[in-house]
Amino acid sequence: MSAAVLAAAPPRPAHRDPQVLRWLGAYTASTVGDSVYYLALSWAAVSSGSPAQAGLVMAVSAVPRALLLLFGGVIADRLGPRRVVLVSDTARCLVTLGLAATLLAASPGLWLLAAAALVFGAVDAVFLPAVGALPPRIAARDQLARVQGLRGLAYRMGSVLGAPLGGLAVATGGPASAFGAAGALFALSLPLLCALRLRPLPTEEKLPTGEKLPTGEKLPAGEKLPAGEKGEKADGPVLRDLADGLRHLRGHRVLGPLMITILLADLGFVGPLNVGLALLAEQRGWGAPGIGWLLAGFGAGAGAASLLLAVRGRLPRAGTTLGWTMILGAAAVAALAFAPRLPVAVAVAVAVGLLAGVSGALCHALVQTECDPAYLGRVSAVSSLGSLGLAPLGMPLTGAAAGLWGTGPVFVAGAAVCALSGAFALTVPSLRRAELPR
């Protein structure tokens, strides 16, 4: 009787699940550490060289991240996401603490900062897919959308808290103090990650040939499931595992179109919102305070979107909603370039953040709920490739285009690509009809 009652008991909501809360605490500490690290790196680079050299140091980490991100997804699936996140955060902790100790003892110059940025970018290429693969291993499937909302709130909190904390550390003890604070935050995530207990992946014994996978597909005769975490390492070349993950995406009726949608949205969105905002504020005479207000407006809108998903747990007609919010968000991005005054621009930035936050959270939630967890590291790597790998490398092109044609055409071109992503999502029936689990 008691066993039946326990079996029928509904799972805990994500915000009350100790496993989710441990993961969320570790993710928040790591996100704040990221913000502090990048502020310390930029300050140390500006103090040690010219603005152009400082920009090169800040951009160099994007290269290994873009080149290695897909292979990082393979590693996350082979070794297990918790193990990979633990090793990655340990490496980031050691790098930042080593930088802090070196800067206290000497003034090594830009070469050390560039080397550290390269290492950090390579570690990020492994860390990011593993972080994306963790939620389905710690939460029930019907809670994954809420987990994505909580993750969005943690990310916004990291951005809000990291900048002032890093600035205070730099003001108190220089870049060395800020690097030390970042290392301490990475170290704080480690015991929380060690305490996580992951749900096991399905095995051949639990999922016979011909039974449906979590994706809705059937396991073909003679085919084995992908390797899981505890000792179930995949054999064979890494490239074969990567090809298996890409085939899984190509054959999935929702994930394949969703990856194209995410890539288009990232390519259209990242340039105007990262480079374009600074250029817009400079041209309109709003200065640094104007950039701060625009970023605050965007962050407030995105935070509201994450809170909405965290509270509601799911939004109905997820595929249709993400398509229309992308199109409306694209219109808001284009309107931002023509806002006549700063208060109007801030209001438009809030709308951009809200609409982009809803569409982005729904994209990530659908990735989490549609993907077989054994492939999730590779799928997360592909979904992150646009925003974290390719789009940052295109930022210099965005700046050059704005110099040639002005910010207005750049914002409109980016908005057109974003609108194309939403229109594509609405024209693919399987993606348009996609729903989050109840």
In this structure, what token pair is assigned to residue 147? 């987990």
- Is the pLDDT at 27 greater than 70? The verdict is yes
Q: What 3-state DSSP class applies to 212?
A: strand
Looking at residue 426, what is its pLDDT?
A: 95
Rounded Cα–Cα distance for residues 264 and 130 (Å): 23
Nearest Cα neighbor of 84 from 180, 198, 185, 184 is 198
Rounded Cα–Cα distance for residues 37 and 187 (Å): 13
Q: Highest mean pLDDT: which of 177-181, 194-198, 310-314?
A: 177-181
The CA distances from residue 305 to 213, 298, 309, 359, in Å, are: 31, 11, 7, 9
Looking at residue 207, what is its pLDDT?
A: 41
Looking at residue 58, what is its pLDDT?
A: 73
DSSP conformation class of 436: -
**What is the DSSP track for 31-42?**
HHHHHHHHHHHH
Q: Contacts for 203-208 with beta carbons within 8 Å, 24 or more apart?
A: 203/228, 203/232
Nearest Cα neighbor of 272 from 384, 158, 414 is 414
Tens digits of per-residue pLDDT, 37-65?
A: 988 888 888 777 766 677 677 778 878 88
Read off the pTM. 0.80
Rounded Cα–Cα distance for residues 44 and 176 (Å): 9
Say what the alpha-carbon torsion angle 154, 60, 269, 130 is, to the nearest 10 degrees.
-40
Q: What 3-state DSSP class applies to 169?
A: helix
Tens digits of per-residue pLDDT, 73-89?
A: 999 988 888 999 999 99
Rounded Cα–Cα distance for residues 220 and 208 (Å): 10
Looking at residue 234, what is its pLDDT?
A: 52
Looking at residue 10, what is its pLDDT?
A: 57
Looking at residue 4, what is its pLDDT?
A: 43
Nearest Cα neighbor of 411 from 350, 333, 356, 347 is 333
Looking at residue 395, what is its pLDDT?
A: 67
Tens digits of per-residue pLDDT, 90-130?
A: 999 999 999 999 988 877 778 888 888 899 989 989 998 88
Tens digits of per-residue pLDDT, 348-391?
A: 999 999 999 899 889 988 988 888 888 888 998 888 887 776 66
For a pLDDT cut of 70, what percent of the chain falls above it?
Answer: 85
- Is the pLDDT at 211 greater than 50? The verdict is no
Contact 383, 259 (CB under 8 A): yes
Q: Which of 18-27, 51-60, 250-259, 347-356 has the lowest mean pLDDT?
A: 51-60
Strand partners, 218: 212
Looking at residue 389, what is its pLDDT?
A: 66
- Is the pLDDT at 209 greater than 80? The verdict is no
- Is the pLDDT at 233 greater than 60? The verdict is no
Looking at residue 213, what is its pLDDT?
A: 46
- Is the pLDDT at 205 greater than 50? The verdict is no
- Is the pLDDT at 132 greater than 50? The verdict is yes
- In this structure, the number of other CB atoms found within 10 A of the CB of residue 199 comes to 12
Q: Please state the rounded mean pLDDT for residues 320-335.
A: 93
What confidence category does residue 418 fall into, taking pLDDT thresholds of 50, 70 and 90?
A: very high
What confidence category does residue 347 fall into, taking pLDDT thresholds of 50, 70 and 90?
A: very high
Contact 119, 95 (CB under 8 A): yes
* 24-35 per-residue burial string, b: 16 or more CB within 10 A, e: under 16: bbbbbbbbbbbb
Q: Which amino acid is at 150?
A: L
Who's near 88: CB < 8 A, 6+ residues apart? 123, 124, 126, 127, 130
Contact 422, 262 (CB under 8 A): no
Looking at residue 204, what is its pLDDT?
A: 37
Looking at residue 7, what is its pLDDT?
A: 42
Contact 408, 302 (CB under 8 A): no
Q: Which of 128-142, 169-183, 215-229 has the lowest mean pLDDT?
A: 215-229
Contact 327, 419 (CB under 8 A): yes
Looking at residue 212, what is its pLDDT?
A: 43
Looking at residue 330, what is its pLDDT?
A: 93
In this structure, what token pair is assigned to residue 430? 């399987």
Contact 87, 203 (CB under 8 A): no
Rounded Cα–Cα distance for residues 419 and 328 (Å): 8
Rounded Cα–Cα distance for residues 183 and 13 (Å): 32
Q: Please state the rounded mean pLDDT for residues 333-355.
A: 90
- Give the gyration radius of the chain's Cα atoms: 22
Nearest Cα neighbor of 345 from 394, 301, 379 is 301
Q: Please state the rounded mean pLDDT for residues 202-218.
A: 42
Burial category of 275 from C-beta neighbours within 10 Å (exposed 0-12, middle 13-18, buried 19 and up): buried
Who's near 107: CB < 8 A, 6+ residues apart? 48
